[in-house]
Amino acid sequence: MESINIGLAGLGTVAQGFIEIFGQKKQALSDKLGMELKIVKVASRSQKVDLEGLGAVFSTDLSSLVEDSAIDVIIELIGGEQDALELISAALKQNKHVVTANKEVIAKHGNSFKGEIDSGQLRFEAAVAGAIPILQGIGVGMVANDFGSITGIVNGTSNYILSNMSREGASFEESLKQAQELGFAEADPGFDIDGIDAAHKLTIMMALAYGQPFSFDKVITEGISHITSSDIQYASEMGFAIKPLAVVRRSGDEIAAMVYPALVEFDRILSQVNGVMNAIEVESDYAGRLFFSGPGAGSLATASAVVSDLGLIARNQGSAYPRLMGMEKLRITYPDQSTSSCYLRFDVVDEKGIFARITSALSESGISIDEVFQKNLDGGRASIVMITHPASDKDIDNCLSNVGELSEILKPIQRIRVLS
Ligand code: HSE
């Protein structure tokens, strides 16, 4: 049997999952793939796990993987941007295959690796939505299709936080701490809660689905840290969950991409995707609407996707993605003219007439209200909560800036989109 010699870079959460899978299934995998898989070297800044029994040499020098002519495939699991980028570039120059879970490097630098992505020398299934084979789904399984929209929950940490705040009534901070302890969160959790990680993943899906350059800078990104437990409760009373979404939509020859928290009606499956689970709903011309769901982060789940890329290399499968070269037919725009229903919460001094002043300001701006209620709070305060009918961003912006001037308004007005 021929063999593939693997150099593993990193010993973090996903790398440990990879080693665990390897320990349990090395022989079975080799049998399935018709190719003996060997981890010959592991490089990491420090040796945090016991490598006894793996039969691999350990090094603290990442470049020793690139220099080792016996290594066929480098699995980059060190994370971060710069060191990983250098390692990937150097490995590709040495004609090694590279498998990475690094969404940041692919989203920001994928355009300089178009040739290697097209040839299948560089693969990154684990970079998007953990265990879910969404890139192969889009790239191979749905290759016949044009995509109308992709709507996903692709950051497990944000979903875990919002689900926990909803189900357990836990605070934002407690929930984030738990996600960190469980190994889901990024080294810098700002990447999770500010929507950057989801924007990296959306950039990758958008490039593959629409054959576009990787355009991370064109994704509008809004985080979840302004969502309060009260918003989650009020939304629920009106029949919605609040979910951290990543959405790309095509309209004619234009596509627009945005990461934002949104109210999702309870009768949509996306609203029921909780905890660290990810889900992606894909609308296409022939296959219709497909729904992919599964664990989006975590050691073994993400490592499962790394092994899937390794499997494609072992079977000499070529690229799992559509060709990126020369397919720039669509224009990526900013979704600045979008129209959606909005959830609005006005925290006010509960004085006579304030409810009417707010609703008439909305009406004067041409914004109609679908549902509205008032919650009385202590200290003579109240929250006026509503969902509007679809309105343009511009009309809502103008109206809220006028209403925000009212002396009874106590805090910045909360505004969350509703997924249409
Ligand atoms: N921090 C990421 C998440 C890890 O929470 O989804 C998986 O990419």
Does residue 353 sit in the same domain as residue 230? Answer: no
**pTM of the prediction?**
0.96
Q: Please tell me if the CB atom of residue 184 comes closer than 6 angstroms to any atom of ligand 1.
A: yes
Q: Please tell me if the CB atom of residue 207 comes closer than 6 angstroms to any atom of ligand 1.
A: no
Q: Please tell me if the CB atom of residue 296 comes closer than 6 angstroms to any atom of ligand 1.
A: yes
278 to 111, 118, 124, 240, 251: CA distances (angstroms): 26, 26, 17, 18, 25
Does residue 69 sit in the same domain as residue 218? Answer: no
- Give 105-135 as a 3 state SS string: HHHHHHHHHHHHHHHCCEECHHHCCCCCCHH
Does residue 287 sit in the same domain as residue 141? Answer: yes
> Which domain, by its residues, includes 229?
135-294+326-333
- With contact defined as beta carbons under 8 Å apart, do 38 and 4 qualify? yes
Q: Is 128 exposed, middle or buried (0-12, 13-18, 19+ CB in 10 A)?
A: buried
Please state, in angstroms and rounded to a whole number, the distance separating the CA atoms of residues 247 and 52: 44
- Alpha carbon nearest to ligand 1 atom 7, residue: 297
Residue 96 designated active-site: no
Give distance in angstroms: CA of 129 to centre of ligand 1.
8
Please report whether residue 179 resides in a domain.
yes
Domain boundary among 304, 333, 362: 333
Q: Please tell me if the CB atom of residue 185 comes closer than 6 angstroms to any atom of ligand 1.
A: yes
CA-based max dimension of the chain: 82
- Nearest atom in ligand 1 to the alpha carbon of residue 128 is 8
How far from chain centre, in Å, is Cα 49?
A: 28
Give distance in angstroms: CA of 163 to centre of ligand 1.
15
Q: Please tell me if the CB atom of residue 192 comes closer than 6 angstroms to any atom of ligand 1.
A: yes
Q: Are strands 381-388 and 342-349 parallel, antiparallel or unpaired?
A: antiparallel
- With contact defined as beta carbons under 8 Å apart, do 35 and 2 qualify? yes
Residue 339: its pLDDT value, please? 84
Q: Please tell me if the CB atom of residue 297 comes closer than 6 angstroms to any atom of ligand 1.
A: yes
Please report whether residue 127 resides in a domain.
no
Domain boundary among 272, 302, 333: 333
Does residue 146 sit in the same domain as residue 233? Answer: yes
- The CATH number of the domain holding residue 65 is 3.40.50.720
Please report whether residue 320 resides in a domain.
no
Give distance in angstroms: CA of 154 to centre of ligand 1.
8
Q: Please tell me if the CB atom of residue 8 comes closer than 6 angstroms to any atom of ligand 1.
A: no
Residue 329: its pLDDT value, please? 72
- Nearest atom in ligand 1 to the alpha carbon of residue 302 is 7
Give distance in angstroms: CA of 275 to centre of ligand 1.
12
Please state, in angstroms and rounded to a whole number, the distance separating the CA atoms of residues 223 and 142: 30
- Ligand 1 pocket test target in 158, 177, 197 with most atoms within 8 Å of CB: 197
Give distance in angstroms: CA of 301 to centre of ligand 1.
11
How many other C-beta atoms are found inside a 10 Å radius of the C-beta of residue 266? 13
Radius of gyration of the chain (CA): 24
Please state, in angstroms and rounded to a whole number, the distance separating the CA atoms of residues 243 and 280: 12
Please state, in angstroms and rounded to a whole number, the distance separating the CA atoms of residues 319 and 14: 23
- Nearest atom in ligand 1 to the alpha carbon of residue 192 is 1
**167-180: b or e for each residue (b if 16 or more CB lie within 10 Å)?**
eeebebeebbebbe
Amino acid at 281: E
Q: Which of 248, 244, 309 is nearest to 271 (CA)?
A: 244
Give distance in angstroms: CA of 385 to centre of ligand 1.
32
E strands, 222-334, in order: 240-251, 254-265, 277-284, 289-295, 331-333
- Nearest atom in ligand 1 to the alpha carbon of residue 103 is 8
Does residue 285 sit in the same domain as residue 345? Answer: no
Does residue 32 sit in the same domain as residue 181? Answer: no
How many other C-beta atoms are found inside a 10 Å radius of the C-beta of residue 396? 22
Please state, in angstroms and rounded to a whole number, the distance separating the CA atoms of residues 313 and 310: 5
Catalytic residue of the set 201, 218, 243, 394: 201
Give distance in angstroms: CA of 1 to centre of ligand 1.
36
Does residue 177 sit in the same domain as residue 91? Answer: no
Could you tell me which residues are beta bridge partners of residue 277?
A: 295
**Per-residue confidence of the chain (420 residues) as pLDDT tens digits?**
689 999 999 999 999 999 999 999 999 999 999 999 999 999 998 877 878 788 899 999 999 999 999 999 999 999 999 999 999 999 999 999 999 999 999 999 999 999 999 999 999 999 999 999 999 999 999 999 999 999 999 999 999 999 999 987 888 999 999 999 988 899 899 999 999 999 999 999 999 999 889 999 999 999 999 999 999 999 999 999 999 999 999 988 899 999 999 999 999 999 999 999 999 999 999 999 999 999 999 999 999 999 999 999 999 888 888 877 666 678 887 765 678 899 999 999 999 999 999 999 999 999 999 999 999 999 999 999 999 999 998 899 999 999 999 999 999 999 999 998
Helix (H) or strand (E) holding 275: none
Please report whether residue 304 resides in a domain.
no
Does residue 8 sit in the same domain as residue 79? Answer: yes
Please report whether residue 111 resides in a domain.
no
Does residue 143 sit in the same domain as residue 286? Answer: yes
Q: Please tell me if the CB atom of residue 102 comes closer than 6 angstroms to any atom of ligand 1.
A: no
Please state, in angstroms and rounded to a whole number, the distance separating the CA atoms of residues 327 and 331: 11
Q: Are strands 289-295 and 331-333 parallel, antiparallel or unpaired?
A: unpaired
- Ligand 1 pocket test target in 192, 202, 277 with most atoms within 8 Å of CB: 192
- Ligand 1 pocket test target in 128, 135, 155 with most atoms within 8 Å of CB: 155
